[in-house]
Amino acid sequence: MIRRLLTFSFLLCCSTQTEAAEPKPASPEAVEYFEKQIRPILAENCFSCHGAKKQQGGLRLDTAAGLAKGIDTGPVVIPGKPEQSLLITSVHRKGDYAMPPDSELTKVQVAALVEWVKQGAVYPASVAVVPSNGKKHWAFQPVVDPKVPSNNGGQNPIDAFVLAKLTEKGLKPSSPADKRTLGRRLYFDVLGLPPTAAELDLFVKDSRPEATEQLIDRLLASPQYGERWGRYWLDVARYADSKGYVFTEDRNYPYAYTYRDYVIRSLNEDKPFNRFIVEQLAADKLPLGDDKKPLAAMGFLTVGRRFSNNPHDIIDDRIDTITRGFMGLTVACARCHDHKYDPIPAADYYSLYGVLDSSSEPKEYPLIGEVERTPEYLQFEAKLQKLDAATAEGSMKLQATRLTLLNAVTGSAMQVPHADKLLNRADRNAITALQKKVDEYRAQSPFAPPRAMVMTDKPKPAEPVIFLRGNPNSRGPQVPRRMTEIVAGATRKPFVNGSGRLELAEAIASNDNPLTARVIVNRVWGWHFGQGLVRTPSDFGVRTELPSHPELLDWLTKRFIEEGWSLKKLHKRILLSATYQQASAVSPANFQADPENRLLAHQYLRRLDFEAMRDSLLMASGQLDPKLYGRSINLFSQPFTKRRTIYASIDRQNLPGTFRAFDLASPEQHTPQRFQTTVPQQALYLMNSAFVAERARAVITRADVSRVSDPNLKVTAIYRAILSRSPTVDETSFGTAFVQESGKVKPTGVQLGPWDQFAQVLLLSNEFLFVD
């Protein structure tokens, strides 16, 4: 890399350009463009080699003076002439020495640099460079209440902020989506399910001004809302029903489902998000009274991967999930050294390490509900007692053997640490196998009462020290258990209440924390639009791009806090905006000016994720089981379950290939947003899966389809069942012709009949699989 940089510098030195890059007086618009579009590109890609500490080739790009100086033979930027600017030539990756040397800028970043140079390459000398500790970074500043732009004409304030940005660029928003499109979009966004044809017809025919608001209220009040939005949070919480690889012990989490059910129930109840945070970190420290169900919230800490039971990795995973999940802070980067970019020293990492190291999981998780002593439960209890007794008997035999061995070796029955090592592996494995049977029975029996995967404080809190270079055997100075300085300030106090988990939770959920409310508001926006106002929803650090609409983000965050951290009120505010309700069609001019739709000139066309796709297949076939809550279920064993996909069993060590093919979140770690790929396995699953074939057959056996004999009317009934609309005349003709032609081939074995095939064609269609 060094040789490439030196060669690049040599080529720059050979340039014959002599014009000076004198900075122009900075207009407010030019300053804003530089700070929002250009400085982040330079900071992320250039300052490490051309900044305050290093100036490869003599070039410094972190100051206006450095840019103006250029290199020994002249500037690298010619204001107004991007085609003559060596900086632009290099980022276009022309020649053999493209810059940056190890990665390519995106087309949007290159276009921004070209536009900046074309407009005069204004580099405001009066604006200080972000300090190396990042404390002046926008995300670490208090949430403000920006003034709503005055050109909104009485619109939703969201639209005023968006329209102001569009107007600056000479762009216009798309027209509103038609009511049928909007209705289907709302159902999928809020419930993760399609509307029935009757429901959609009713909304389309309702011409009252309040019709859309009333539909939103009804959808948010549905228990299916919690099932849809609960899955989003489970991605953040790296939910799974198994531990990963843990040697010979049982890999299952028998009670992980209680955490999943807690999340669904909390969202349906619109539990204030700050209370939702506190319960997930410290429900055991709260005065819960008789209702112990909130204890299940602590699965947020305990359902993670077990890393072969390495305690340091387990705690690291919990720190990462807490700080990225709630605050968009990558604190885990400071495990081995001070954070390279954000103001997070290793001392702050080990302060949080001490909090979690001061807590442990009890041997027996607490019950979270009344146990109904049914005959089935009594049978479960009796068998469990037998298994426990067998395990206890095996342990007693081990203990007796160990005393015997000590007496033979030492002449006495004195206690010796790790005396069980005197036993052979077979003896130890026998005891482990007995305990594994107990754990497996708890995990698999449908009659085991629900318990909460809690953590409790150890009798004596840990006194954490810094592990030098992350090595627990190389112990550095002691640090107190306390909140990170960038959030709590330099005068923060050590935690004194046991482990400090409750104090940590309250600091995260505080109205004064500049990160937490911003992060969840941005997540909700992103889950509605496909992209957040900040495109890195779990990283609000100094290397992240600026928000596309910073004033809108703070305005929404301020309202969110003032309205009691209510997610449902936030949803409604977004869903009622014209920005959300606009069509997804994009004009050529808008696409050319803003290909990534950062300015929100149109809605996003989105493919259904796996959960919504599978649930829609069940819905179309009339077989979706509306039951809420309960133990996790294997989706891929026959007979196929009709439960919603959120109740699927997630085995983090053996994640099914279908989940991977459809980009399900990896349960290995916190997932801020899912990848979206298009691979042949997706189409092959839909064409060949026995589950999909069953749904196609079930569509035809629906009462509203099977009772129709006329081919044209039957095509209409199938369209309404699957696509929630009636077909056009041409579609009806095509459908009947397809069935007639398919009927000439007699089905054999499990092959689908002609009507079944027609139903499957619609189930595979883009209209079924995409939300407009």
474-495 pLDDT, tens digit per residue, is 999 999 999 999 999 999 999 9
**Contact predicate 518/554, CB 8 Å:** yes
* Dihedral class, residue 617 (left if φ above 0, else alpha if ψ from -120 to 50, else beta): alpha
Side-chain-side CA neighbours of residue 58 (13 Å): 15
Integer Cα distance of 558 and 560 in angstroms = 5
The residue count of the chain comes to 772
Pairing of strands 456-457, 359-360: antiparallel
pLDDT digits (tens, 9 = 90+) for 312-346: 999 999 999 999 999 999 999 999 989 988 999 99
Closest CA to 227 of 264, 273, 270: 264
Which pLDDT tens digit goes with each residue over 667-717? 999 999 998 899 999 999 999 999 999 999 999 999 999 999 999 999 999
Looking at residue 444, what is its pLDDT? 72
pLDDT of 618 > 80? The answer is: yes
Q: Is the pLDDT of residue 497 over 90?
A: yes
C-alpha separations of 191 from 184, 348, 369 in Å: 10, 40, 28
Q: Residue 571's closest CA among 216, 280, 159? A: 216
pLDDT (0 to 100) of residue 108:
81
Band the pLDDT of 402: cuts 50, 70, 90.
low
Predicted confidence (pLDDT) at residue 412 exceeds the cutoff of 90: no
Q: Residue 768 has what pLDDT?
A: 97
Whether residue 12 has pLDDT greater than 70: no
| Whole-number Å distance between alpha carbons of 647 and 378 | 26
pLDDT at site 416? 54
Give the residue among 143, 166, 772 at the shortest CA–CA distance from 512. Answer: 143
Beta 475-478 vs 606-607: how paired, if at all? Answer: unpaired
The whole-angstrom separation of Cα 673 and Cα 682 is 19
pLDDT at residue 349, rounded to an integer: 97
Distance between CA 22 and CA 77 in Å, rounded?
10
pLDDT for 57 equals 80
pLDDT of residue 130: 36
SS3 call for 465 = strand
The tokens describing 624, both together, are: 């979706």
Nearest to residue 603, comparing CAs of 195, 218, 188? 188
Amino acid symbol at 290: D
| Residue-wise DSSP of 44-81 | HHTTTTBSSS-BGGG---SSHHHHHH-BTTB-S--TT-
Beta strands in 451-595 (DSSP E): 456-457, 465-467, 475-478
Q: Residue 305: its pLDDT value, please?
A: 96
187 close to 575: Cβ distance less than 8 angstroms = no
pLDDT exceeding 70 applies to what percent of the chain? Answer: 89
Per-residue pLDDT at 24: 41
Q: Which of 432, 440, 452, 428 is nearest to 383 (CA)?
A: 440
- Lowest mean pLDDT of 107-121, 268-282, 602-616, 645-659, name the range: 107-121
Helix (H) or strand (E) holding 441: helix 425-444
- Whether the CA torsion 154, 156, 157, 159 is positive or negative: it is negative
